[in-house]
Structure 1
Amino acid sequence: MGPKAKVAGKARAPAKRKLAEEFPSGEVLTDTVKKSWKLGAPIGKGGFGLIYLANENSANAVGADARYVIKVEPSENGPLFSELKFYMRAAKPELIQNWMKSRKLKNLGVPRYWGSGLHEKGGKRYRFMVIDRLGTDLQKKFEECGKKFSRKVVLQLGLRLLDILEYIHDHEYVHADIKASNLMLSQGDPNLVYLVDYGLAYRFSPDGVHKEYKEDPKRCHDGTIELTSIDAHKGASPCRRSDLEILCYCMVQWLCGRLPWEDKLQDPLYVRDSKINCQENISQFMIKCFSTQNKPDEIQKFMEVVKSIGYQDRPPYDRLRSILQTGLKSIQSKDDGKLEFTPVNGTLSSPVKKTTRKRKADETSVADASEAKTKKEDVNGAKSPAKSPRKKKVPASRQTRVGTLRSPGATGRPRGRPKKTQA
């Protein structure tokens, strides 16, 4: 799993993070329960540190068929520490196995946690974590497919993510950053998909007590700007409905190629207000994204249910699954366990709209000429990871409450609400 894109803001100051030095293949790390792990070649790097192939320590070298990866970062850095807390509490193999058994699931797309600890080298201390090794991420598949997935694949992914989200929600966490680059296929079975990167994961209900709704101007727009929830845009801590709202945007993006607000991602208030308008009139939003003959009714129904969820409500996961399963039946299909990532014939969105969006993106860009050129080349798809901030910060004076987001105690009804690659 690759590192997180850099995020702006005092709480996560990438420029101040120290980079981990690269350890040689064969370096042995010992975790907190005295189990030894041997490092292989590094397969990813980022602002927090490095990711290595790894196996349990033995006389053999760690090869390309390694079963595990180890994330390593200087101990004073923060991202891995946050992610480690989630894995230690909610991703132990026995927890996942018991959940699968109780729900009669053949697989659950949460990487398993195998160990962690501190390692000293050259007078410096490093934090490390051992998890399952996975394969390619869905952003690569999305681009290979012309930045559109088939309706069947999107509905299948939605069903898999409902299983994953129900699991992590019932273990007191929300993910807060669901997107194609944070979804990875199994190394051994390309039909299995895993949700990764828990660096923004939030413990919304410690010891079963749900956090109260509270807007914090310093935290506005956390997450990936085009997909994050209205709760996050307003500076409120993420909750279960936040994850499901993000899932809605993901499914629409995967089906039609782009979201209507992707032209002005440099303006977080515009993106927030566009999402509020979307939630207030989901039917109109669907018309913007799809032609009449290709409009997926199940996605609109799914969004309507998510809109009705209160900040502290437990989502109706089974009802949402039923909606997606009905969508599969409407196209004479079913979740057969096979993810077929093939280019979609034809287009679901109007070429005229795409041209207009491209023009607007060029006119409103605040980037330099080379960035503008990149936008032109990437106009038919999701943002380039290198150009899209995970978090945008605006002056507190501009962070006004807009729309019809419910008060913290509201339990229902209208709300306007509100990287990973492994070898």
Structure 2
Amino acid sequence: MTVHASDTASEAASHAAPADLVARRIPGHSLEAPFYTSDAFFRLDVDAVFARSWIFAAAEAELPEPGDYITLTVGAYSVIVVRDDDEEVRAFHNVCRHRGTRILNDERGSVGNIVCGYHHWTYGVDGTLLHAESQPPDFDRSCFGLRSVHVRTVAGLVFLSLAAEPPADFGEFASRVEPYLAPHNLARAKVAKQIDLVEHGNWKLAMENNRECYHCAGHPELQRCYFPLYNFTENEVPPGMRATFERFQKADAEARATFESLGLPYAAIEELVERPTGFRIEREPLDLAGESFTPDGKAAVRRLLADFPTARLGHLGLHLQPNAWFHFSADHAVLFSVVPLAADRTLVRTTWLVHADAEEGIDYDLDTLTGVWVATNEQDAVFVSRAQLGVSSPAYAPGLYSPTESQVESFVTWYITRLTAHLEGP
């Protein structure tokens, strides 16, 4: 019987402690199998990454009125994100201060007050305890408000941190990206559609898949309007994509002239590794009509998000470690978030925003608006599920990243840094 080295390495990795696997990660290579397959790493990822970072939670458009809320579940955590009576966005742990009961059980809704269904302790949408029946005379309601979760809004996007002391660099991140986002008027948009897709793969595989276009030949709908040249340098462009690259160069020169004439920031800012709140942002042209993510590149929504003099603004792309990416065009925005459900299951939520006054059937057709990304997401779900099957095989061994996968390497390096900091302690 022949024993292959890959089989031996795979078996050894399955028995190694998470700290040892983190310490021996080889730069430029994919992670060892347990990072993607083990329950121990799933729990570690929640504790070290999702509970200690700033994560994207929702669009403000999902909370248009006071009392509107969503709930977000990350591992054992459940969070209520709600708009209060002063129209501020707040976040609280979804845990009653009486005996710990989960309070709100729906994914979204609207409340006057937040009422626990068990013993009817009642909280205001600002988290204060308003009513608790049958308490002693010296009971101090002010000591039993809902436990707050750190929450920040940036140009219509809602971020939260479960950490007692969240990463201190969020203010700098916000100041860097807000000038890019603000022109799109997201705080006054509305949700046209939201789709939840459960991918049968680890959350890191979903994020890695998004960070490269090496596989973009598998996205024919997207490739019609999106230049599939992400992370390719001029010298790396394959011969078969040379015409596309030349078309991109022409569109890019025209787009930069437009961006500058309108005072829209467009230069790439890439700080994916060196900061806790790693991000990348850049405004780029789109192919064909250059207006939107549609089969012909034309705007999907007649009513633009803001008072832009032209719809030909390409797209503004923002990527945030660890769980989100965004595309903003003149006519709509598409928001993507990733939430780990289990070692081999991940929720990918896609939200389309349009102008608050845009009317379906008049200003836009929903299938045209969503079609490119619906197809792309379904294709990506297949790729991620196949990747999960592959890393689960005893024959799997970490492979070498292509130069065009540099942002995958950046994501994995950022992730390993977060785990290392957590495992080493204060």
TM-score (norm 1): 0.27
Which structure has more strand as a fraction of its residues? 2
TM-score (norm 2): 0.27
